């Protein structure tokens, strides 16, 4: 008979295989909102919370609400959500860091996600990413100096029949090429309206999209 296996659980922090502790999750930005901003956000928060039988169920849309205010999740935003829902900041942060739609760094007016998973990469996604980052002078995850565009790699968007796919504020732009994406970004930075390939006829800014996801603003016609 095999000897029993005994597992000793450590009370210390989780560690990497190299023995280095996980870095703490940190949020930047202001610690508190002004009284005026708090009052305006609280009005919207009350509308959102009123839709749910349990207030904590409103956390996801509230995170979108504060993200629409700041352009990303700040310390003030985390504290505001915690206070509105009677949660701890740690509880709010644990949810905020689970979903990639919640940003922890200032984000441009247009969040451009280039799919570089296998099929999109083979069909031209890698070439698009290389062209765009070179032209904009940024690396994935960074924002242009004018604050208009943030570029990132994204995982598969389940649109492989239209590869390579580029997402702008989570709207689809299908069957793209390096040239078409370059023109798209040139237009957006110049203020020229562009419509997604499918879905909405209007491409909203990042903050407008966050308000739509929070449920405090209707989609433009």
- Percent share of the chain, pLDDT over 90: 82
Alpha helices in the chain, H assignment, sequence order? 35-49, 59-70, 75-85, 89-96, 118-120, 126-136, 178-190, 206-214
Model pLDDT for residues 114-134, shown as the tens digit of each residue: 999 999 999 999 999 999 999
> Would you say 115 is a known binding-site residue?
yes
With 50 as the cut, is the pLDDT of residue 177 above it?
A: yes
Quick one: fold of 110-204? Glutaredoxin (3.40.30)
CA distance 105 to 74: 8
> Would you say 160 is a known binding-site residue?
yes
Label residue 7 by pLDDT band (50, 70, 90): very low
Indicate the pTM of the whole model: 0.86
Q: Is the bond preceding 164 in cis, omega lying within 30 degrees of 0?
A: yes
* Lowest-confidence pick of 10-14, 29-33, 160-164: 10-14
Q: What is the pLDDT of residue 200?
A: 87
CA distance 181 to 188: 10
Label residue 22 by pLDDT band (50, 70, 90): low
CA distance 34 to 200: 34
Model pLDDT for residues 66-83, shown as the tens digit of each residue: 999 999 999 999 999 999
Q: Which of 213, 189, 28 is nearest to 109 (CA)?
A: 189
Label residue 109 by pLDDT band (50, 70, 90): very high
Provide the residue ranges of all domains of the chain, joining segments of one domain with +.
22-107+206-221, 110-204
> Would you say 120 is a known binding-site residue?
yes
Mean pLDDT of the chain: 91
> Would you say 81 is a known binding-site residue?
no
With 70 as the cut, is the pLDDT of residue 20 above it?
A: no
């Amino acid at each position: 008979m095999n000897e029993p296996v005994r597992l000793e659980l450590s009370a210390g922090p989780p560690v990497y295989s190299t023995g280095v502790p996980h870095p703490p999750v940190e949020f930047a930005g202001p610690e508190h909102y002004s009284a005026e901003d708090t009052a305006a956000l609280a009005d919207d928060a009350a509308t959102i919370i009123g839709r749910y039988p349990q207030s904590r169920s409103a956390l996801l849309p509230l995170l979108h609400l504060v993200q629409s205010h700041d352009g990303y999740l700040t310390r003030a935003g985390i504290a505001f959500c915690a206070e509105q829902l009677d949660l701890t900041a740690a509880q709010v942060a644990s949810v905020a860091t689970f979903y990639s739609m919640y940003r922890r760094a200032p984000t441009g007016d247009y969040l451009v996600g280039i799919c570089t998973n296998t099929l999109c990469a083979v069909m031209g996604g890698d070439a698009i990413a290389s062209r765009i980052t070179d032209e904009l002078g940024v690396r994935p995850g960074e924002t242009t100096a004018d604050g208009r565009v943030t570029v990132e790699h994204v995982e598969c968007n389940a649109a492989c029949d239209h590869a390579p796919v580029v997402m702008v504020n989570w709207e689809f732009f299908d069957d793209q090429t390096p040239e078409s994406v370059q023109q798209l970004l040139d237009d957006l930075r110049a203020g020229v309206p562009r419509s997604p390939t499918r879905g909405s006829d209007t491409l909203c800014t990042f903050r407008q999209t966050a308000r739509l996801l929070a449920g405090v603003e209707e989609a433009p016609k």
